[in-house]
A and B are shown apart, each in its own frame.
Chain A
Amino acid sequence: MTAERVYGDAGPGLGGSILSVRDLHAYVGQSHILQGVSFATRPAQVTAILGRNGVGKTSTLRSVLGLMNHTGVIEFDGRQISSLETHEIIRLGLAYVPEDRDVFHGLTVAENLRLAERRGLAPDYDRVFELFPELRNRRGQRAGTMSGGQQQMLSLARALLHDNRLMLVDEPTKGLAPRLVSEFVATLEQITAHTSVLLVEQNLAVARRLADHVIVLSEGRVVLDGAAEDVLADDSSIRRLLGVAADHEEG
């Protein structure tokens, strides 16, 4: 367990990190959800945030995107982004694939994609439809009438319309049938080959396959931070931290 580091160690001086977060605090109502989260991601790598439900994984992503009130330092590519508005942050080259898809149900697939087009940039529809041929056929369908898996495709497709420096992906396999999970993981592997990804994941098997770097949160703090093979090596302690049973990984 050489890779295990104590919370707060991921300070400045991490050369080449694309996103670095230092001493992030956030509240939801009265509860202190994030209590000084610090970490950094590396370019062209998948950083997975793991942890039990409610430890602040999604809040971390949402704070990075300015969707949630927070304090602390968030730097993207060496630039302080805490004070920027969400759309300004996104335009720096980030994409967000939210938890529970969050596609616009009343809009068609084509409209959902059109909304994700960014001004002044050419959208890459070919790549999107190559990855998800099904979406091409369903362009005129209302997103709300599609299955969960199809909505997840659309949600990912939205983020892949443009090249991004960093993708924030929140539980992409949650609630999907096992067969779909492996399909999605294969697709994600393709994507992560050339884009940095900050991934929130509950499914340990998915994390094992995708992550290069793992951060484990517990009660609003980083408790483990290191290379995936090191952090995930000690099976029993990671299971204890994530609160998962052995059979959970079979999926």
Chain B
Amino acid sequence: MTRSGALRYGAAGLLVVVLAVLPFVHRSVGGLLPGPINSPGSLQVLALMLVAAAAAITLDLMFGYTGLMSFGHSLYVGFGCYATVILSNNPKLGFALGVPLAMVLSVVVALVGNAAALRLTGIGFIMATLAMAQGFAIAVERGFLGSGGEVGVTFARGVLPDPLRGVLNTRNVYWLALALVVVVYVICALLVRTHVGHVWQGIRENPLRTKVIGYNVYAYQMAAATISCTLAAMCGVVFAIVMGGANPGIAGLHYSLAVVLMVVLGGRGVLWGAALGAVLYQFLNLRLPSLSSSDIVTGLPEILQIPLSQPNFLLGVAFILIILFMPGGLASIFTRLTRRATSKRAGEPRDDDGGVPATTREPNLVS
């Protein structure tokens, strides 16, 4: 292990430890969180940020590493979420059987959905994923299959195991979300370092060349997408536990676009970057409305107040600026800094998941 590698593992471990002890910290952080850090409200906000981070990491696996831009990640997160609640509420199954069954079904959905969507490539794939996710969103909004329509479904009384239930146990839920991020990150980080992961990155750079070398591009894409979407469904399971149920908000185009935005904001092709983007996104999204009703903002003229009270306005502007001027996302700031620091030491391998732009295509269409 190189020195910078050791440093990174150390920093990651430290971060996890710090996050893990947060539920014991009774401190107020201004208006940033709804209450003291270890209050149930704050812990739920933090847990949602962690779930978002995990979901963004899973999308980065297929988008940032394999070049498969999915605009339908909400299908898998949403399916995992709804299936968990609906199946667990079935008295014959309960939580203990409902969750595994939800995951099995999620794998099936991931296989079928990606097999269909991968019939198309590039922008066609984007639209296929988007449209299929939309089909699910419509079904859920209309309340088909016991999904409860616009209000969604909640876990029935007594379905959730005791340690995950109730305001007092929010910290257990928070730890579960933290564990989810760690598990998803470790799985993805290991995968992208294997031979398969390198083939994925080859496909991202140039699918045709990878095919010519003799790899079955479709099979590798299927693998990446299926793993990514299955892990996304796992995020949906935890989301259901954090929220105590499922609602259409997680199933629609808006959520799919949000995950894409998180990944691009943070830096595609960098797993921790995607997580960073997600944390920022989710924080702004959950907290901006209450922050913008604070005195600082209400004192501003209306022309400034309107945009500042709309999380999507600020996020959208940031997103556009990132695309125009910083294609590597926020992570590229860090990778640039560390590269400058390490470049002084000759002979050290470069950061292998540095901010590589996802597409390096020719400007024109002539072959």
Asked if B360 is at the interface (CB within 8 A of a chain A CB), the reply is yes
Could you say which of B205, B364, B366 contacts A30, with CB atoms under 8 Å apart?
A: B205
**Interface window among A62-70, A71-79, A174-182, A225-233:** A62-70
Quick one: CB contact mask for B196-229 with A, threshold 8 Å, 1 for yes? 0000000001100100000000000000000000
| Cβ distance A151 to chain B, nearest Cβ, rounded Å | 16
Contact B360 A68 (CB under 8 A): no
Contact A98 B205 (CB under 8 A): no
Contact B364 A29 (CB under 8 A): no
| Cβ distance B85 to chain A, nearest Cβ, rounded Å | 46
A28 nearest CB neighbor, chain B only:
B362
Residues on the A chain within 8 Å of B205, using CB: 29-30
Residue count of chain B within 8 Å CB distance of chain A: 8
| A89-128 interface with B by 8 A CB criterion | 98, 102
A62 nearest CB neighbor, chain B only:
B366
Query: DSSP class of B's interface residues: helix, strand, loop or mixed?
Result: loop
Could you say which of B206, B363, B366 contacts A102, with CB atoms under 8 Å apart?
A: B366
Contact A68 B209 (CB under 8 A): no
Residues on the A chain within 8 Å of B366, using CB: 62, 67, 98, 102
Contact B209 A29 (CB under 8 A): yes
A contact set with B: CB distance below 8 Å: 28-30, 62, 67-69, 98, 102
Measured between alpha carbons, how far is A98 from B366 in the docked complex, in Å?
A: 10
| Cβ distance A65 to chain B, nearest Cβ, rounded Å | 10
Measured between alpha carbons, how far is A62 from B362 in the docked complex, in Å?
A: 12
Measured between alpha carbons, how far is A98 from B365 in the docked complex, in Å?
A: 13
Measured between alpha carbons, how far is A28 from B206 in the docked complex, in Å?
A: 11
Residues on the A chain within 8 Å of B209, using CB: 29
A29 nearest CB neighbor, chain B only:
B206
Contact A69 B206 (CB under 8 A): no
Could you say which of B206, B360, B364 contacts A67, with CB atoms under 8 Å apart?
A: B364
In the complex, besides A30-B206, A67-B364, A68-B363, 12 extra interface pairs with C-beta distance below 8 angstroms are A28-B362, A29-B205, A29-B206, A29-B209, A29-B360, A29-B362, A30-B205, A62-B366, A67-B366, A68-B362, A68-B364, A102-B366
A86 nearest CB neighbor, chain B only:
B364
Measured between alpha carbons, how far is A69 from B363 in the docked complex, in Å?
A: 8
Residues on the A chain within 8 Å of B360, using CB: 29-30
Residues on the B chain within 8 Å of A28, using CB: 362
Residues on the B chain within 8 Å of A67, using CB: 364, 366
| Cβ distance B365 to chain A, nearest Cβ, rounded Å | 10
Measured between alpha carbons, how far is A67 from B365 in the docked complex, in Å?
A: 9
Name which of B206, B362, B363 has the most chain A CB atoms within 10 A of its CB.
B362
Measured between alpha carbons, how far is A30 from B205 in the docked complex, in Å?
A: 9
Residues on the B chain within 8 Å of A102, using CB: 366
B365 nearest CB neighbor, chain A only:
A67
| Cβ distance A212 to chain B, nearest Cβ, rounded Å | 28
Can you pick out 19 interface pairs between chain A and chain B where the beta carbons lie within 8 Å of each other? Answer: A28-B362, A29-B205, A29-B206, A29-B209, A29-B360, A29-B362, A30-B205, A30-B206, A30-B360, A62-B366, A67-B364, A67-B366, A68-B362, A68-B363, A68-B364, A69-B362, A69-B363, A98-B366, A102-B366
| Cβ distance A87 to chain B, nearest Cβ, rounded Å | 13
Residues on the B chain within 8 Å of A62, using CB: 366
| Shortest 8 CB-CB contacts between residues of A and residues of B | A29-B206, A67-B364, A29-B360, A69-B363, A67-B366, A28-B362, A29-B205, A30-B205
Measured between alpha carbons, how far is A69 from B361 in the docked complex, in Å?
A: 11
Measured between alpha carbons, how far is A98 from B367 in the docked complex, in Å?
A: 11
A102 nearest CB neighbor, chain B only:
B366
Residues on the B chain within 8 Å of A30, using CB: 205-206, 360
| B328-367 interface with A by 8 A CB criterion | 360, 362-364, 366
Measured between alpha carbons, how far is A67 from B363 in the docked complex, in Å?
A: 8
B366 nearest CB neighbor, chain A only:
A67
Residues on the B chain within 8 Å of A69, using CB: 362-363
Measured between alpha carbons, how far is A62 from B365 in the docked complex, in Å?
A: 12
| Cβ distance A210 to chain B, nearest Cβ, rounded Å | 24
A30 nearest CB neighbor, chain B only:
B205
Residues on the B chain within 8 Å of A29, using CB: 205-206, 209, 360, 362
| Cβ distance B165 to chain A, nearest Cβ, rounded Å | 54
Measured between alpha carbons, how far is A67 from B360 in the docked complex, in Å?
A: 16
Residues on the B chain within 8 Å of A98, using CB: 366
| Cβ distance B114 to chain A, nearest Cβ, rounded Å | 26
Measured between alpha carbons, how far is A29 from B209 in the docked complex, in Å?
A: 10
Residues on the A chain within 8 Å of B364, using CB: 67-68
Measured between alpha carbons, how far is A121 from B205 in the docked complex, in Å?
A: 44
Measured between alpha carbons, how far is A98 from B360 in the docked complex, in Å?
A: 24
